[in-house]
Structures are given as C-alpha cells and as structure tokens.
Amino acid sequence: MAQTFPVQRTCPFAHPAEYERMREQAPLVRTTLPGGEVWLVTRLAEARQVLSGTGISGNPATPGHPNRAFRAEPPTPEEEAARREFAVGHFIDLDPPEHSRFRRLLIPEFTVRRIKELRPGIQRITDELIDDMLAKGDEAELVEAFGLALPSLVICQLLGVPYEDREFFQSRTQEALSNVEDRDASHSAMMEIRDFLDDLVTKVAQQPGDDLLGRLIETGQLTHDELVGVTFLLLVAGHETTANMIPLAALTLMRHPDQLAELRANPDKWPMAVDELLRYQSVVDWVAFDRVATEDQEIGGQLVRKGEGIFVLGASANRDERAFERPDEFDIGRGARHHVAFGYGVHQCLGQNLARAEIEIALRTLFERIPGLRVTVPDEELPFKSESPIFGLKAMPVAW
C-alpha cells in the first residue's frame, strides 16, 4: 500500500488520519519519495528503538540519509559545500563521538538547577509582554504579541544578547521563523541573524560575561565558526518549537475549560499538563527525526538494511494506542512523560527543561492574569501552518 509523505496536518486537535491507518498496518511502512524509498516508523516502541539504537546515524552526509530522497537529483558539489559550511556547529546532525563533544559542553547550561535560576527572568519577560498587551486595550494577536516574542527574548537572556540589540534580534527571529510563505524573506532574515551572531561572538570573545555564550567561549574548546553555529542552532531549535507550542497549548486549554479550571485550582498540576500538551500537539513530527541505518538490523519485525533511510513519525508515535490509553483524548492527569516530543536517546532535546519552564510559566501567567481570555474567531477560521514541517498557528486573535 503506497503511503503519502509528508502528510499535512489541518486540525489543531487531531493528527492526520493516515497516521492511524499506518500504525494499524505495521510499525514500519515504506513510502516512495522523488529520490527513492524510505521507512516511516509509526509506533512508540519502534520510534524509541530507532532514536536510541546503535547502527543508526542522524548525519545528513551519511549515504542513504532520507532527506536526500526529497529530491530526484542529488545535490550539486556547490550545494554540498554550502551545506557543510552552514552546518558547522550544528551538532544535532552529528553522530558520537563528535556530537558528544558539543553536548558535554552544553549539558551544564540546561540542567534542572540552571533552568531554576532562569525562571525569574522568564517570569519577568512573560509579565512584561502581558503588561504590554493589556496596556494596548482588550484584544491582541497572541502569536505575534506573545508566542513568538517570549522565546526570542528568553534566548536573548540565555545568550547574553545586549539589551539594545534585542528589538532587532526579536524582529529578525520572527521574520525568519514565521514567514513560511516568503522563503526569500525568511532566508534573508536567517542570514541577518547569522551575521549578527557572528559579530556577537567576536564581541563577547573580547570580554566573556556570565552567560551561556561567555562560558562556552571560556572553555576554549570551540572555534569561532562552531560557536556561531551552536548559538544559531540553539536559537532555531529553542525558538520555533516553543513559539508554536504556546499559542496552540493556550487554544487547547481554552477548548477544555474543565481542565483549565482544574489547573487554576491546583497549580501544582501544571508540569504534568505541559507534558500532556507536548504529547497531544507534537508540533515537531518527522523533521528532527531523520535517520539512516548504518548496518543491517531488525526493527519492529522488519529487516532494515544498511543505507536505508528512516523517518520517525513523532506525532504518530505519541498517539500510539499501544502506549497511551485513549491517545486522542487530552488529559492533563495522564502523566505520560514517555512521549517522544523531545526525541529520545543521545539526540534527545538538550533544551527540554527550558522549553517546559517557558511553556508552563507562559500559560500559567497568561490565564492567571487574563482569566477572560478567549479566541475571537471560530477554530475553522484560524490560519494554521499546515505547509510547515513544524505545526503551529500563523495568527490567533484573542480578546478579554
């Protein structure tokens, strides 16, 4: 049975119906792309096996990597050279031991203890954004005013971006990561951010401060270009996912008022609710879960041969009936932290503690300070990023 891939998601509360059919069919199914066939992993157990297993590579340069299958023609030497140059420091695409070299340096920056130290700053940024919304009247566009703004300002705090540069940094970040229709404008903004970070690394190297970038520089273990690449990766990985999650999560809670009321009455349940929101929404589906087998192996009863590409469908795995009871229901009491919204294994999201803190503080504060928050258009009129590999809202008009 031929499978369509990628499958566009059009509903904020349901994943593609094709995923349910594929899960029922098999834990691994084949799909044909312009450049060849790849495996799609549909269930949670096999997803975790692939994401944590040996004999698996995430490096796009590895022969058979599935990203290459999106094109019928292989990349030109010039395109390959440009990709390699741009990818310096993007350790998410590297395999151990090179991946481990970067990750060891960054782990101390994202521990539970470190994120606890950042929480007052996240709370301050959240309050300031809500203050600004309230000062402008009784309505706002939540994606731009809150969802996109909060993560970029938190990243500024994390990296030590000078206060006077934050407006530029925030505007370029929003342009780069939210403009899915105008790829040229998005690419141009990306290059402006890259140039900005290049200059920032140069300046900070002259007098490192007590922030993530300053501490990385003082280790002396990364080159200038690697530092630029790492900070750029942290920006992209840490901004777009959280920026999409916050408005979607707010919409989900508004559509489940009984559970929102329970959170208001019992704030200690927020951490569990955040994990359920992450599982339920799964805004990152396959785009970060691209792998290729580097040796023959059995996965889900299926022989996967060396050089065969694999996409783990994170959104499908997080709705797997074998792993989650009533998976299509939203339940803040579920307590299912074994989801793969942050991946799994050696490449599991380094910033997951930060993301959880941002989403929790953002939502809790938003509904505490604006208890009458409501969406002003029907769900079917909300514009979604159905064409984007990371699902989200383009806009969400709200009032109170």
Asked if residue 110 lies in contact with residue 75, where contact means CB atoms within 8 angstroms, the answer is no
Asked if residue 216 lies in contact with residue 363, where contact means CB atoms within 8 angstroms, the answer is no
> Residue 205 has which token pair?
């190297």
Residue 61 and residue 80: Cα distance in Å, rounded?
9
What's this model's pTM, rounded to 2 decimal places?
A: 0.93
Q: Which domains, ranges and CATH numbers included, belong to the chain? A: 17-399 (1.10.630.10)
Of 248, 396, 266, 243, nearest to 332 by C-alpha is 266
Question: What pLDDT, on the 0 to 100 scale, is given for residue 85?
Answer: 81
Of 354, 324, 328, nearest to 340 by C-alpha is 324
Strand partners, 141: 397
Pairing type for strands 309-312 and 36-41 reads parallel
Query: ∠ at Cα 60 (33, 219), nearest 5°?
Result: 155
> Residue 94 has which token pair?
């590297």
> Residue 308 has which token pair?
């065969």
Question: What pLDDT, on the 0 to 100 scale, is given for residue 236?
Answer: 82
Residue 34 and residue 49: Cα distance in Å, rounded?
27
Asked if residue 216 lies in contact with residue 105, where contact means CB atoms within 8 angstroms, the answer is yes
Q: Which helix (H) or strand (E) holds 238?
A: helix 224-254
Question: Tens-digit pLDDT profile for the chain (400 aa)?
Answer: 456 789 888 888 999 999 999 999 999 999 999 999 999 999 999 999 999 988 999 999 999 999 999 988 888 888 888 788 888 999 999 999 999 999 999 999 999 999 999 999 999 999 999 999 999 999 999 999 999 999 989 988 898 888 788 888 878 877 776 665 666 787 788 889 889 999 999 999 999 989 999 999 999 999 999 999 999 998 888 788 999 999 999 999 999 999 999 999 999 999 999 999 999 999 999 988 999 999 999 999 999 999 999 999 999 999 999 999 999 999 999 988 899 999 999 999 999 999 999 999 999 999 999 999 999 999 999 999 888 888 999 999 999 9
Question: What pLDDT, on the 0 to 100 scale, is given for residue 376?
Answer: 97
Residue 340 and residue 234: Cα distance in Å, rounded?
19
Question: What pLDDT, on the 0 to 100 scale, is given for residue 177?
Answer: 64
Asked if residue 235 lies in contact with residue 227, where contact means CB atoms within 8 angstroms, the answer is no
